[in-house]
Each structure stands twice: as C-alpha cells, then as structure tokens.
Amino acid sequence: MKEEDRLEEKNPIEGLLRMDRIPHIWCPGCGIGTVVTSFADALKKTDLDLDKVAVVSGIGCTGRVAGYIKLDSFHTTHGRAIPYATGLKLASPGTKVVVFSGDGDLTGIGGNHFIHAARRNMDLVVICVNNFNYAMTGGQVASTTPKTANASTAPYGNFEGAFSLPYLADAAGATYVARWTALHLRRVSKSIEEALNRKGFSFIEVITPCVTLYARRNRLGSGLNLLKYYYDKSEIRHGADTRDLEITFQGKLTVGKFIERERETFLDAMNSHLSHVLGDDYQLYGRCFDD
Amino acid sequence: MKKLKTDPKGVLTGSHYLDGDYALAEGALAAGCRFFAGYPITPSTETAERFSERIPYVGGVFIQMEDELASIAALIGAVWGGQKVMTVTSGPGFSLMMENLGLACMQETPLVIANVQRGGPSTGLPTMTGQQDMMQAKYGSHGDYEIIALSPDSPQECFDLAIEAFNLSETYRVPTLIMTDECVGHMHEKVVIPEADKIEVVERKWYTGPKGEYLPYKLDDDGIPFLTKVGQGHRFHTTGLTRDERGYPDLNAERQKIVVTHLIEKIRGNADKIIKLEEDQIENADVVVVSYGITSRVAVRAVQQAREAGLKVGTMRLITVWPFPEKRIKELAPHVKAFVVPELNYGQIVREVERSAWGKTKVVSVPHCAGWVHDPADILQAIKEAAK
Amino acid sequence: MTDIRFSGLGGQGVIRCGLISGKALSLYDDKHATMTQSFGPEARGSACSSQLVVSDDRVLYPYIATPSILVSMSQEAYEKYVPELGKGGTLVVDEDLVKLKKVRDDVTVYAVPSTRFAEELGNRIIANLVMLGFFTAVTKIVSPEAMKKALPGLVPERFLDLNIKAFDKGLAHGEKVLKEKK
C-alpha cells in the first residue's frame, strides 16, 4: 500500500487510541466501536486537559474500552468499575473520571455500586453500552434483556422483567441521564460532551446491537441493519418521564436527555458539610491533591 | 469528636490508652494513610469510626462504601489516584474482599487491610475472637500470588505494625494484611506514639522518568516496578488480565509464567528481609511453642508454668505470618523434640510448621474452635506431652 | 501483679471503670495495665464486667482467672463473680444494690452506697465514679491524682466537674471507712 493511501485510511480518532493494540476484539457490526468514536469526538470538543481524563472499565466486551483508549485507563474486575473509579476520583479530585462499561457489568453484577454512586452523586461520567445480553461469555440473559427475548441461558425466552436503566439511574439520584442508540453518533457525542463538562453522576445509556449473539439468536438480522433498526425504532423525547422508558422486545425506543439537575457532589457535600460543622479546624479536602 | 492534639503531620504523638482497633487507625494515619473506604463489621468497626472522626482534621477521605467488594475496589482506584489507603474488616467482609485482593496483587497496588478476626464460618461469632482466617489470608483469592500478613499481639503492636504494613506494602507493591483478632482489637493498653519525625515511613516509589514513557510493570533493579498516579500525562494502562510491561493484556502461557513468577518471587525472594520473629529461650529448648497474635500471650502462661516444672521450652512468636518463616523452622527442627502450635482455629498455621519441619521432628497442634482463647492448661498439657 | 474485675449491670459504666483505672495506671502511675471486657449483646442489660491486669512489668497474659479485687455494682454480678475471688481478696460493693451472702473469712469487704450518693449529687449515672473514688481509697492500687487526670476524654466534658465531685465523694467515704476499720 502506498504511503498516502495508508494516511487516508488513518483512523480519525487515532490520537486517542492505543494503536499498538488495534485491531480490537469487537465483532464486525458491533456498536461499541461507534460509541468509542463518539466518546473520542466529545473529548476533542471539550476543553479538558486530556492528561487529566481517566477511563475505568469493568469486564465484558465494553469492558475492553479502557484497553484501547489512550488516556490513563484502568481495566478492573467484573462489576467493580464504579467503586474503583470512586476511589480514583476521590484520591485525585482534579481528574475527570469516566466509567465505560456494559449493561451486565454496571447494572447486573455491579448494580449495587451503580445505585450508590448515583445516590452519592459521585462525580463520574458513566457510559453504559447496553446490548441486552452478556456478550463476552456467549449471550447469556442479563438484567436488561427484554421479556421474551432469547438468550443462551434463557433458551425458551426471558420471563424476567428488565431494568429500565434511565429510570433506575434517575430514581437512585443521578443528576444527568440520557439514552441514545449507537447510530445517534452526534447525539451520543453531544451527551458525553455535556457530561464531561458538568459535575455529578452523569449516566448515558447507548443501545447497541450485539450482532454475533443477541441478534443472531433472536433472528434480528445483521449488524448495520440492526443498528439502523434501533435507530428507526427510536423516538426522541427530551425530558420524558423516566417511568415511561421501558424497553420491550423489538418495541419502540424512547431516547433523549431525560434528566439534568444540580445537586452537590459527594466531595462538594463533604467539604461544605464538614466546613460548616467543624469550622476552621476542617482540612478542606482536594486542596493539596491537584497538581 | 473534638480535634485531638496532634503534631502538624496529624500524628497523635504521646502516650495514650487505646484499644487495638483505634491503634490501627492511628498507625495508619501516622504512616500517611489519608484514604479509607470500608464497610462496618464487628469487631473491626471502631477502626472505621476512629478514621471517620480523625480524617477531617488531617486532610483526607473517609467513605463508607456499600459493601466490602466496593471498599477494596475503591482502595485500588485510590492508589492509582496517588493515595496511601487502608480498610478494615472481619470474616464475612474479608471473604468479599478476596475478589479484589487478587486484582490488587495483579495490578501491584500497595494497600493495607486489617482483619480483626472473629469466629466463623459464616456469621459465626461476631463479637468473639478467632484466628480462623489465616489460610484465607494467603490463599483466599483465586490463582497463585503472595501477600504479606502480620499479626500484632497488643494495641501497641497494632500501631507499630500498621506503619510496618504500609512500609512493606509500598516497598514490595503488594497488599499487606494485618491479621489481628477481636481480643487484641478490643483490648486497651498503653500505646506510645513517637514524634512524627521519628517514625520511619517508606514513601511510594514514584516513577520520575520522561512523560509518556511510563511502564507500570517494568521491573527496576530491585525487582519492583515504579508506581505513578493518574493525571501525569503518561496515558498508562493497567488491567487484571495477564499483562506485559506496558500493562497491556498479553494472554499466553509464556507471559503468564513471567507474571506469576514475579508476583511470587518478589515476596519469597525477599522473605528474609520481610519476616520478623520474636524468639525466647530457643537455645537448648526441647520444645518450641510457635504462636502468633493473642494466642502467644496466652501461651506465655503455659510456657512459664512448663519452665517452672523444669521443662526446656522456647517460644517463637510470628510477627510476620506470611511469608511463613519456613527457613527458621527447618533450621530448628533437627534440634528440638517438638514444635507445639496453639492457635484459635482447628489447625491452620500448624500445617506450615509441619511442612517446614520436613519430618525432622514432631509437630503438635493445639487447636481451638474460636470464641475465646485457649485455657493455658491445655497448652501446658501439650507441651508436657511433647517434651516426653 | 493485681487482677481486678469491675462488674455490674450493663449501663452502670463498669467498662468505663476499667478504662479510667487502666488509663490512670498506665499513663499517670507508671504501671502496666491491660483492660479487657466482655463485649457484645451480652454486655448490655445483664451482668457485665471489665477486667484489669495491673503489673510493674509488661503484662503478658492479659486475662484474669482469680481476681484479687472484685468490684460489684449489682446482685447478679456479685453472685456470678464472687466465687472466683482469690484467697485474701478484696470485695468492693454498692451496699444498697448488693446483699452480701456468706462471705469467706479471708475476704475483706468494703461497702459504699455509691448509687445513693450519686443520686444525692443529682444523677445516678455517676454512681460508677463514686465507686471508683471509693475503690481508689480502699484498695490503694491507683493514686487519686492519676484517676482524676484520666477522666478527660472518658467522661463527657460538660459533666467533668460533676464526675470529679462524685469521685471525691467516694474517695472521702473510702478514707473514712478505712479509718473506722483501723
């Protein structure tokens, strides 16, 4: 290949990827890559010092994002990305910490951490790629699998109810909640940018096809079709009541920015409360840690 | 709680009447720990309470997490955020922490966990003592790894060993456990806290090389890689997967061999430097009583009585339980009639003694099902039998 | 070596008695004192106790089997612990709360109406301080100065004066009783 051709094919977000780890492990038609692109796009648009942005992932297909993003990045254990990120953020308040993981990781095994971080309004940007199943391990049923959908551990169809993640996040106290599909590239990017530019627990759910497992098992067609299908099935309703956001099998998807509210973050609350109660004796936290 | 009178570094210099749980917190603060994430559990809760009272005055974070899974995950994250970190727990919480104890070993993050042991299994005896987690401390997480575990026998030693634990943990980039128990945790004694300047604190081995060239797992000459923290522009990566020097996943048997060998040998290879023992009248002893923590203070009564009865009894107190002092046991084995090993479990560390004695001498277990300490008479009886 | 057991009902402050005495001995009287306690749900309500091992050298074995001094502030605690009192031991009781049964000849008994005195001072909650003052006087194991120095931090600051008053009342009564005994 000629040099100039190679340059043309250069990945548009190359500066933000660990090119020495590419090719990535994601299947053709998987939506995770497009969410990563939207994330990189958002990072470029913010004024943040990218040396001060960190990504924390758990385990699973989306859990691999931390491994490909060229920022300080942490690949942790299954379900524990949020508490790990909590420690990272609290120890280094000057760092913008992004949790990038999947639905199973964040709201199945990590569900308890998810609601508590939201309750505390921990200053984290949480990007959840929801593909309705456990993909890394072969398409098992998840806390997000819609009723009647088939999964390898629900071979006769899922009969459990599913979490509606924006509803869960809202109820637990998240201060920014949005949902998009992976094909809403610019909208996803815009939401991430908004989240990066604010303080508090921001939650962005991105509906993404798992072509290899969920789609094949449920005979939903191939990659681009499904991306397009979700996109076409979606209806943008900003500010929609989060109680009305349930996802049914192949039903319509309500997307948009649902919640944006102000509330003291954990650290701000800690500093303001303890300053109030203890007065000058309180050692204001964060002062000596930002370098 | 009012602000306590401390020196400018937050060290509670002076003489105090503290229990072991409080002394642990004071030791950690004196070692420079400014991040505590934990979950309340008897009989360790007082340490968390003490931290929550003290931390606002010294500049740091106390956070009560939603469970112990989260507590230790937050610690590891906070290490990469640049802090010295600690948590405290007991049996059921210790079990939950096993998951990310493995991650801390794999990511080589220095952190300190104190386990104020109680009787088990399961919920067991929440308010009563035990030493039943000694094997779990070493083998509780999956896979092959090494940790360091210390066992204090008094509130003073809770303070001293908390500092030691931080120092060891920083030196070897390894989780270090303080395996104490309810008796020591709730026992009050005088604790003398030196001036801050007189406390030897090992600082983190920070990477100081060029920006962007940091390799989290490249070994330095001493076999221990440098640490950095988030936000320094290195754009580094770390993972729980088997990884190369860059911290990138490298999933094959060859790399696995390098990683596992390193995790184990950095401790075993330095065992002589790490291990601390307290020996008494070992020379010419017929019987050596090997014990640790509260049990060594109970055994001492039996040993005194045995000596009064004319028996030649030596004692070895394991201040460091892991890595186990196998070399010393092996050295002594041919010269003694027996090792007697009382512990507040059904026989855990005795297996290590047995293994290390290589069949060269008798090893007698004095088990106990936990809940209370041994009756010294039982230990005396075992010593007498062993001396025959 | 002196082994002491403070006993009574949960809520009477018998753990506090051990703490104050232990702190006084360790920090201000140049002794070694190890305090242990029965802990947990059983420490509330029914008989509870704290144990103090006092020595000129480091305390090795931290528990007591046959205390040389038993302090009892309730009937139940007295009956539970008096059989273990060592030969030639000292028994200190609240005379209104403990009805003595047949006491061994070798045992010296000191009795104080600690709860009544405390009520006279305005609050029965400080009965344990009256008892401690009395205990200090009759056993002479610890100095009154050390005991008073040990109080800050172990009693609520705003009640410090009241606690000292209670201690002094017990102390004076103890000295009086000692004189009478002679």
Q: A197 with A46: CB under 8 angstroms? A: yes
Instruction: Please check whether residue B300 touches C, CB under 8 A.
Output: yes
**Residue A2 — pLDDT band, cuts 50, 70, 90?**
low
B83 CA to chain A: closest CA distance, Å? 6
Chain B residues touching residue C40 (CB < 8 angstroms): 42, 126-128
CB contacts, 8 Å: A286 with chain B: none
B131 vs A112: CA distance, rounded Å: 31
**In this complex, is the C-beta atom of B23 within 8 Å of any C-beta atom belonging to chain C?**
no
pLDDT at C39 over 60: no
pLDDT of amino acid B5: 86
Q: How many domains does chain A have?
A: 1
Residue range A26-63, pLDDT digits in tens = 998 899 999 999 999 999 999 999 999 999 999 999 99
Residues 6+ apart with CB under 8 A from B322: B137, B138, B146, B147, B148, B149, B177
- Per the structure, the count of domains in chain C is 1
Confidence (pLDDT) at A224: 79
Classify residue A104 by its DSSP letter: I
- Which of helix, strand or coil describes residue A203? strand
B17·C37 Cβ contact <8 A: no
pLDDT range class, residue A22, cuts 50, 70, 90: confident
Cα–Cα distance list, B7 to A284, B31, B167 (Å): 18, 13, 21
Q: CB of B37 within 8 A of CB of A262? A: no
pLDDT per residue over B215-253, tens digit each? 999 999 999 999 999 999 999 999 999 999 999 999 999
| Closest residue of chain B to A55, computed from CA coordinates | B237
Task: Give residue A85's pLDDT band: very low, low, confident or very high (50, 70, 90).
Answer: very high
Q: Is B128 on the interface with C (CB under 8 A)?
A: yes
User: Which chain A residue has the Cα nearest residue B69?
Assistant: A80
Cα-based angle B138, B323, B374 (whole degrees, multiple of 5): 70
- pLDDT for the residue numbered A226: 85
- The fold of B14-198 is Rossmann fold (3.40.50)
The pLDDT of residue B202 is 97
CB contact under 8 A, A289 and B85: no
Q: What is the rounded distance in angstroms from the CA atom of residue B31 to the CA atom of residue B9?
A: 10
Q: Strand, coil or helix: what is A276?
A: helix
pLDDT, tens digit, 9 for 90 and up, residues A185-220: 999 999 999 999 999 999 999 999 899 999 999 999
Interface of B with A in 32-71 (CB under 8 A): 35, 37, 56-61, 63, 65-67, 69-71
pTM of the model: 0.96
Q: What backbone torsions phi and psi does residue B365 show, to the nearest 5 degrees?
A: -90, 135
Q: What is the mean pLDDT of the segment spanning A240-259?
A: 97
Min Cα–Cα distance to chain A from B214, Å:
11
Q: Which residues of A touch B60 (CB under 8 A)?
A: 283, 285
Nearest CB neighbour to B17, from listed C26, C37, C157: C26
Chains touching C, CB cut-off 8 Å, 3+ pairs: B
- Report angle CA C114, C72, C54 to the nearest 5 degrees: 105
User: Which of A4-13, A130-139, A177-186, B371-380 has the least mean pLDDT?
Assistant: A4-13
Q: How many CB atoms lie within 10 A of CB C32?
A: 18
Q: In chain A, what residues touch B233 (CB-CB under 8 Å)?
A: 51
Return the pLDDT at C44. 47
**pLDDT tens per residue, range B306-337:** 999 999 999 999 999 999 999 999 999 999 99
Of the candidates B132, B116, B120, B121, the one whose C-alpha atom is nearest the C-alpha of residue B49 is B116
Q: Does the complex come out with an ipTM higher than 0.95?
A: yes
For chain C, the average pLDDT equals: 93
- Domain range for residue C77? 2-181
The domain that holds A92 is classified in CATH as 3.40.50.970
Q: Report the distance separating Cα B337 and Cα B315, nearest Å.
A: 13
The pLDDT value given to residue A221: 82
Q: Token digits for A171?
A: 């109820």
B3, B74, B231 ranked by CB distance to A84: nearest: B74
Q: What is the pLDDT of chain B when averaged over all its residues?
A: 97
At B2, the pLDDT band (50, 70, 90 cuts) reads: confident
Q: What is the pLDDT of residue A12?
A: 66
Q: In sequence order, which residues have a C-beta less than 8 Å from that of residue B388 and are 6 or more positions away? A: none
Contacts for B311 with CB less than 8 Å, ≥ 6 apart: B286, B287, B383, B384, B387
The helix, strand and coil proportions of chain A, stated in percent and rounded to the nearest 5, come to 40, 20, 40
Q: Looking at residue C67, which CATH number applies to its domain?
A: 3.40.920.10
Q: Are C37 and C2 in contact (CB under 8 A)?
A: no
What is the distance in angstroms between the Cα of C83 and the nearest Cα belonging to chain B?
19
Mean pLDDT of C42-52: 73
C and B touching (3 or more beta-carbon pairs closer than 8 Å): yes
Whose structure tokens read 């072969």?
Answer: A138
Flag whether pLDDT at B387 surpasses 50.
yes
The residue segments making up the domain with residue A41 are 3-263
Q: Which residues pair with B204 in a beta bridge?
A: none
CB half-sphere exposure, B267, CA atoms < 13 A: 26
Answer yes or no: is pLDDT of A289 > 60: no
Give the count of Cβ contacts less than 8 A between chain A and B.
Answer: 162
DSSP per-residue string spanning B109-159: --EEEEEEEEE-STT-EEEEE--TTHHHHHHSSSSS---EEE--SSHHHHH
Q: Find the distance separating the first CA and the last CA of chain C, reported in whole Å.
A: 26
Percent of chain C with pLDDT over 70: 96
Phi, psi of A55 (to 5 degrees): -120, 130
CB contact B80 to A (< 8 Å): yes
User: Which pLDDT belongs to residue A3?
Assistant: 52
In a domain, A162, yes or no: yes
Helices B155-172 & B20-30 angle (0-180, nearest 10):
40
Q: At what angle do helices A266-278 and B45-58 cross, to 10 degrees?
A: 80
Residue B66: which of A70, A84, A113 has the nearest Cβ?
A: A113
CB contact burial B180-211 (16+ within 10 A = b; e otherwise): bbbbbbbbbbbbebeebeebeebebbebeeee
Residue-wise burial string across C124-145, b where 16 or more C-beta atoms lie within 10 A, e elsewhere: bbbbbbbbbbbbbbbbebbebe
- Domain B276-387 listed as CATH 3.40.50.620: no
Alpha-helix runs per DSSP H in B173-269: 182-186, 253-268
pLDDT computed for residue A13 by the predictor: 77
Instruction: Read off the pLDDT of each residue in C51-57 and give the average, rounded to a whole number.
Output: 97
Closest CA to B70 of A167, C121, A113: A113
Residue A240: pLDDT over 80: yes
Q: For residue A290, what pLDDT is reported? A: 44
Rounded Cα distance between B10 and B57, Å, is 8
Digit-coded pLDDT (tens) for C57-110: 999 999 998 999 999 999 999 999 999 999 999 999 999 999 999 999 999 999
3-state SS class at B171: helix
Give domain status of residue A283, yes or no. Answer: no
pLDDT band at C42 (very low <50, low <70, confident <90, very high): very low
**Residue the block writes with tokens 């039996």:** B302
* CA–CA separation, C134 and A37 (whole Å): 79
**Closest chain B CA to residue C23:** B17
- From the CB coordinates, do chains B and A have 3 or more pairs under 8 Å? yes
pLDDT surpassing 80 at residue A9: no
Residue of B nearest to A85 (CA): B77
In a domain, A272, yes or no: no
The residues spanned by each domain of chain B are 14-198, 276-387
Please report the residues numbered 223 through 252 in chain B whose beta carbons come closer than 8 angstroms to any beta carbon of chain C: none
pLDDT tens profile B294-305: 999 999 999 999
Kindly determine whether residue B190 and residue C35, on different chains, have CB atoms separated by under 8 Å.
Answer: no
* Residue-level pLDDT at A291: 40
Proportion of chain A above pLDDT 90, given as a percent: 86
Whether the CB-CB separation of B173 and B195 falls below 8 Å is answered with no
Task: State the nearest Cα–Cα gap between B66 and chain C, in angstroms.
Answer: 24
User: What pLDDT is stored for residue C43 in this prediction?
Assistant: 46
Lowest mean pLDDT among A241-245, A280-284, B85-89, B195-199: A280-284
% pLDDT > 70, chain A: 94
